[in-house]
Structure 1
């Protein structure tokens, strides 16, 4: 297999590194370790090349923001009121 350009090599390296982090992160959900953080980093790397990873990362960020707002709703209200001023 011969690579046609350096951009093709970069795409392959990005896919391998991002996929590896994603798989390790999923494994860390059952094993000890920071699974969600590693999944987030893996998706961040993959989103540089793949639309599906970008969309999944956006959904993950939205779910995290929604969970954060549920845990501390006063922060969400305070940040909203500070924007109005």
Structure 2
């Protein structure tokens, strides 16, 4: 057994995420450059999914599932996220049990409020786009994003 195979086996044993990803994980962490890039990408994606989950906690959407999915992504690289994932799963199970025990009338009212909120948000977005005009609104939005960072590319075919 050569050094590469031995390193892969050791990395697979130390991996604390889903087993079917262990070999890919070990390969990505063989090289120091791909190792740090993997950590950066996984951390960025995981944090973005968690932030989306936090937003969905107050907005319509499956917030707890977003948090769990983000922690699952982070747990492929970080042990602390694996511990937090277990706690989040427990919270999700408790929330599901509480929802099952909820009075059906209350549940229907909450679903109706959620649907009305989603409809109102959709109408508000439509009204803003309709008032500003879609092409103009999109180009102004892109210009605003470019003003935040100089690395954002120009829109194709748009003069500066």
TM-score, length-scaled by structure 1: 0.68
Residue 76 of structure 1 corresponds to none
Residue 41 of structure 2 corresponds to 13
Question: CA shift at 1:63, angstroms?
Answer: 3.5
User: 2-side partners of 1:29 and 1:66: how far apart?
Assistant: 16
- The reply on whether 1:31 has 2:59 as its aligned counterpart is yes
Instruction: Report how many residues are paired.
Output: 69
Residue 151 of structure 2 corresponds to none
Q: Which runs of 4+ in 1 moved over 6 A?
A: none
Is there any run of 5+ residues in structure 1 with no aligned partner, and where?
73-85
Of structures 1 and 2, the larger Rg is shown by 2
Is there any run of 5+ residues in structure 2 with no aligned partner, and where?
1-31, 102-160
- Residue 68 to residue 25, structure 1, CA distance change in 2 (3 Å): closer
TM-score, length-scaled by structure 2: 0.38
